[in-house]
Every structure is written in C-alpha cells, then in structure tokens.
C-alpha cells in the first residue's frame, strides 16, 4: 500500500515536482497556482480533465484515403518508367509526418491537460510503432488518437484496441498472419513487451496465441481494420495452461489475469513517473493497485501522485528529462514558441527521440540512455538556439548549409526559411529585476531549476554576472540562461 503524503509536506517544491512528472513542468506562476490548490485538488484536476482533453482536433490532412488506388497508381507509373508518382507519395508521407510531429509537440506545450499527453507519450513508447514501417500519416495519427482516448482509461481495453490498430498491425505483421502460417511477431511482442514480460511464457504459448490472432485484416481502400472469420483459426488452443477456442481478445484477457502483467505494467509506470530503478515495494504497491482497480488507470495514478513515495527526496529532481520533456519544458520556462517543425524534428533526432519513430518495438529505454557525450552537448547547444535563435550562429555561417547544430545537411539554410528571433528577455526578467544581479540570479534559477539551484551554483552564476561588470543587458541575461541550461542539473526533472 502506498502511504498518503502528509499535508505538511505539500509545498511549492512538491507542486513543482507534480507538474514536471505528471506534465511538462511549469512556470513559477503555474507552480504557485497548483500549490495553492492543495494536493488533493491538484491531483484531481490533473487526473480528471474534461472530455475536451481527449478530443484534440486532428491535423487537417488526417483522414482515410484509398491507399490501394494511390499505391497502385504509383506502381503502374513506375512500371512505365515514371517515378514521379512514387516520389509524390513519399513526399506526402514525409510532409504529413513532419506536420504530425509539429501538431503533437505543439499540443503538449499548449494543452490544459498535460497528464493526458504525458500518458499518451507513455503508451506511445509502450506500444511502440514506427512510421518508418507504417509509412502513413493518417494511420500514425489515428494510433495517437486511440492512445489518447484510452490513456487514462483501462489498460486491457487499450491493449485490445492496439490489436486492431492499423499502424500496430502493420508494424508487427499482423495482417500477413494466416491460419496455415501464423505470424508470431505480434503474439511474441504482446507477451514480451506489452503485458507480462520475458520469462512468463513459453515458445509454445507464442505459437498458440499467434493462431488466435489470425483473421485480423486491413482494408487498404478505407484504411480500416476488420475481422475476417474465414481467415481465423477458430480451433482449440492451449495457452498458459488453459485450453479453449480462444480468440485474440481471450488471449489478452488471460494475459491480464496473470500476476506478472500488473507487475510488468506497474514497474513500467514507476520507471516513467518515479525513478529509473524503482524500489520493489513501490512497484508491488502499484501492481496491487492495478489489480485492485482492474487496470483502470485513473485511481492508480491518483494514488501514486498523492503518495509519500512519489515525493521522496531521492525521487524529486532525480530523473533525466526525455528529449520531449526537455524541449517542451524549456520553451515553457523561456516563455517562447517551439522551434519550426523541421528544426524541431531534426533536434529530436539528434537527442534520440523522434515521435512516431521509436528506435524499435521496445520503445525508448529512457533514463541514462538519453545521455551520451553527443546528446548532452546537443542539448546544451539546442538550449542556446532556443534562447538566442539564429544569433547563436556566427554571422559568417548563418546562411550556410550543414553548419552547427540545427540544420539538415544539404537541405540547407533552414535558418533562412525559418528565422528565429532571440527570446524576449523582459517576459521573464523585467527591468526592475535586472537592477539587482543577485536577485536576478535567484529568480531565474528558481524558474530554470524549479526549486532553485544549490548555493555554490548560485555563486558561480553571480560571479558570471560580476565578470560582465554587473551588466544585465539582454545579451548577458540570455548568456546566463544558456549557462544555467547547460548545467548537468538542468538535465534533471
């Protein structure tokens, strides 16, 4: 059982922690507001966001098309030696994905219900599916929409929805599965990565459950999935010690009834929301809660976010920000816009988290794996770009291709196409604040590090200002912010 956080421990630090883990962080004002609500109300508001949070307007191009016709046309043109159709289709795929990434990242920054997006991202990493194989923007958007609708709903229903989700089906070869040749890809990953984890099933279970998932089909003309009874192996199967004429949903129900399933999902939730190596007692508690609530997410999350364990000193500001968190939170703290879509996409690639393209079916490993010498330097330089815009580039290089950091090789001069101005310093450091360098450092580090930096670091930041002769013009303040955001501490949330 999780223990409830005592009222006395609900302070601004706790409120900041809740906002950064259950959302994408907050400005000092947002933190104060959440703190003023009290713990119960704050958690309630995050978990019980209204229906509008789930009805996010899709990008305008996101609707089904007759893919069969589209692809056939392209193929026929290609046979005539005309590759333009193929290129056209590919360009459309690329453009739509770029726009889809802009759409989601933008919504993560703007939404009044950040927990919904944070969980949608969690499920995207859990039911990892990549556009690299699916190759269709509508299907990727639709999976995102399904993940969002179930994000705080029921895990078992979500898993069943994923078994019928066109993007997932394509990603794990489900439509190719035939009774005479059941494809084991989906069945294996369902057990290994989505429900019970490795070691809790046998190769025999993989083969038998693969039979249960035959008959799941896709109609390319409508882009919808459907069930084809004649392609389904309805015969008896032996699965995890039970015998029956199981279909796919039966298999998922049996998996959810295994104690290993609650344990597996509980651990993953703890890793995402609490700590890289969560304590066994915490995982057991969350697993017990999942079982007690039949995998309904809301009550489980409400308990977790209200618990003593969630606010432990060892937990607060000890998690490495994911690239998504880094990007959305940094823009929030700087009170600036997200970068232009192509720049954001490239930056996410450099940092190792491209939305709609996880590296493999296991999703993103997270934690320390986000950080290498390469990604860490990139984060520092990316913060520089977000703060200073194009001015971060030496003038001689500003319009040249392939140069520092933020442009994609030969496609060049993105900075010219998508100019970015430096942030408006007055928004976060008004003139009256700048008059007092010490106060300026204190307040900015309050904003950047949520609960303030260590005294030694504060001294270092102050001496940076001193070295600039106490000059606190825009350029210096931006330099100070960049310095703060380049510290190891800023990688933590």
Binding-site ranges for another protein (CB under 8 A): 173, 176, 178, 180-181, 183-185, 188, 192, 198, 203, 276, 318-320, 350-352, 360, 362, 368-369, 371-378, 380-381, 384, 387-388, 391-395, 403-405, 454, 456-457, 459-460, 463-464, 467-468, 475-476, 478-479, 482-483, 486-489, 491-492
Q: How far is the CB of 187 from another protein (least distance, A)?
A: 13
Roughly how many angstroms between the first and final C-alpha of the chain, as a whole number?
A: 26
Q: How far is the CB of 222 from another protein (least distance, A)?
A: 23
At CB < 8 A and 24+ separation, what contacts does 46-53 make? 46/18, 46/22, 46/113, 46/114, 46/115, 46/305, 47/115, 47/152, 47/298, 47/301, 47/302, 47/305, 48/298, 49/112, 49/113, 49/115, 49/116, 50/113, 52/113, 53/111, 53/112, 53/113, 53/116
CB 403 within 8 A of CB 410: no
Q: What is the dihedral of CA 324, 328, 330, 334, to 10 degrees?
A: 170
Q: How far is the CB of 366 from another protein (least distance, A)?
A: 12
CA 476 to chain centre: 33
Choose between 42 and 169: whose C-beta lies nearer to another protein: 169
Q: How far is the CB of 33 from another protein (least distance, A)?
A: 29
Q: How far is the CB of 193 from another protein (least distance, A)?
A: 8
Q: How far is the CB of 268 from another protein (least distance, A)?
A: 15
Report helix, strand or coil for 227: strand
Q: How far is the CB of 417 from another protein (least distance, A)?
A: 20
Distance CA 84, CA 459 (A): 61
Choose between 185 and 330: whose C-beta lies nearer to another protein: 185
CB 492 within 8 A of CB 16: no
Residues 6+ apart with CB under 8 A from 307: 2, 3, 4, 5
Choose between 72 and 257: whose C-beta lies nearer to another protein: 72
Choose between 224 and 473: whose C-beta lies nearer to another protein: 473
Q: How far is the CB of 424 from another protein (least distance, A)?
A: 16
Choose between 32 and 416: whose C-beta lies nearer to another protein: 416
CB 315 within 8 A of CB 274: yes
Give the helix, strand, coil percentages of the chain, each rounded to 5.
60, 5, 35
Q: How far is the CB of 53 from another protein (least distance, A)?
A: 31
Choose between 93 and 276: whose C-beta lies nearer to another protein: 276
Choose between 156 and 336: whose C-beta lies nearer to another protein: 336
Output DSSP code: residue 154.
Answer: B
Choose between 69 and 173: whose C-beta lies nearer to another protein: 173
Distance CA 169, CA 176 (A): 9
Residues found in the chain: 493
Which helix (H) or strand (E) segment holds residue 250: the answer is: helix 248-256
Residues 6+ apart with CB under 8 A from 181: none
Q: How far is the CB of 310 from another protein (least distance, A)?
A: 17
In angstroms, the Cα distances linking 45 to 115, 121, 260, 262, 372 are 10, 19, 31, 26, 36
- Name which of 306, 274, 313, 307 is nearest 41 in CA terms: 306
Choose between 103 and 370: whose C-beta lies nearer to another protein: 370
Choose between 90 and 181: whose C-beta lies nearer to another protein: 181
Choose between 29 and 203: whose C-beta lies nearer to another protein: 203
Q: How far is the CB of 353 from another protein (least distance, A)?
A: 10
Neighbours of 364 (CB within 10 A): 20
Choose between 160 and 271: whose C-beta lies nearer to another protein: 271
Q: How far is the CB of 216 from another protein (least distance, A)?
A: 16
Q: Are strands 237-239 and 242-244 parallel, antiparallel or unpaired?
A: antiparallel
Token code pair at residue 326: 């880094």
């Amino acid at each position: 059982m999780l223990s409830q956080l005592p009222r006395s421990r609900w302070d601004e630090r706790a409120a900041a922690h809740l906002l950064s883990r259950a959302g994408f962080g907050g400005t000092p004002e947002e933190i104060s507001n959440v703190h003023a609500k009290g713990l119960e109300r704050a958690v309630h508001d995050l978990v019980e966001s209204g229906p509008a949070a789930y009805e996010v307007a899709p990008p305008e191009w996101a609707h089904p098309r007759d893919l069969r016709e589209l692809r056939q046309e392209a193929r026929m043109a290609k046979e005539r030696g005309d590759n333009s159709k193929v290129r056209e289709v590919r360009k459309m795929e690329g453009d739509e994905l770029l726009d889809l990434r802009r759409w989601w990242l933008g919504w993560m920054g703007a939404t009044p219900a950040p927990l919904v997006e944070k969980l949608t991202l969690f499920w995207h990493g859990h039911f990892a599916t990549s556009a690299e194989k699916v190759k269709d923007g509508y299907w990727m958007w639709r999976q995102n929409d399904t993940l969002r609708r179930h994000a705080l709903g029921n895990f078992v229903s979500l898993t069943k929805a994923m078994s019928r989700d066109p993007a997932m089906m394509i990603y794990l070869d489900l439509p190719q599965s035939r009774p005479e040749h059941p494809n084991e890809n989906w069945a294996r990953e369902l057990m290994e990565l989505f429900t019970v984890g490795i070691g809790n099933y046998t190769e025999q279970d993989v083969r038998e459950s693969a039979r249960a998932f035959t008959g799941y089909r896709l109609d390319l003309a409508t882009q919808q999935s459907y069930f084809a009874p004649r392609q389904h192996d309805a015969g008896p199967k032996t699965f995890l010690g039970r015998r029956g004429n199981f279909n796919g949903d039966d298999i998922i129900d049996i998996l959810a009834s295994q104690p290993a399933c609650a344990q597996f999902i509980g651990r993953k939730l703890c890793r995402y929301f609490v700590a890289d190596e969560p304590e066994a007692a915490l995982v057991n508690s969350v697993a017990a809660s999942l079982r007690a609530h039949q995998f309904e997410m809301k009550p489980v999350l409400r308990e977790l976010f209200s618990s003593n364990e969630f606010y432990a000193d060892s937990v607060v500001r000890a998690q490495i920000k994911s690239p998504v968190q880094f990007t959305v939170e940094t823009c929030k703290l700087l009170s600036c816009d997200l970068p232009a879509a192509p720049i954001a996409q490239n930056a996410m690639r450099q940092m190792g988290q491209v939305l709609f393209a996880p590296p493999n079916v296991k999703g993103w490993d997270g934690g320390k794996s986000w950080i290498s010498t390469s990604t860490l330097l990139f984060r520092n330089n990316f913060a520089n770009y977000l703060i200073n815009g194009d001015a971060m580039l030496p003038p001689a290089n500003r319009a040249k291709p392939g140069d520092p950091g933020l442009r994609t090789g030969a496609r060049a001069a993105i900075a010219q196409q998508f100019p970015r101005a430096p942030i408006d310093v007055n928004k976060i450091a008004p003139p009256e604040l700048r008059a007092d360098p010490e106060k300026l450092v204190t307040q900015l580090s309050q904003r950047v590090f949520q609960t303030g930096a260590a005294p030694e670091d504060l001294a270092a930041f102050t001496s940076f200002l001193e070295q600039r002769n106490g000059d606190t013009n825009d350029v210096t303040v931006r330099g100070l912010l960049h310095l703060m955001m380049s510290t190891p501490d800023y990688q933590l949330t």
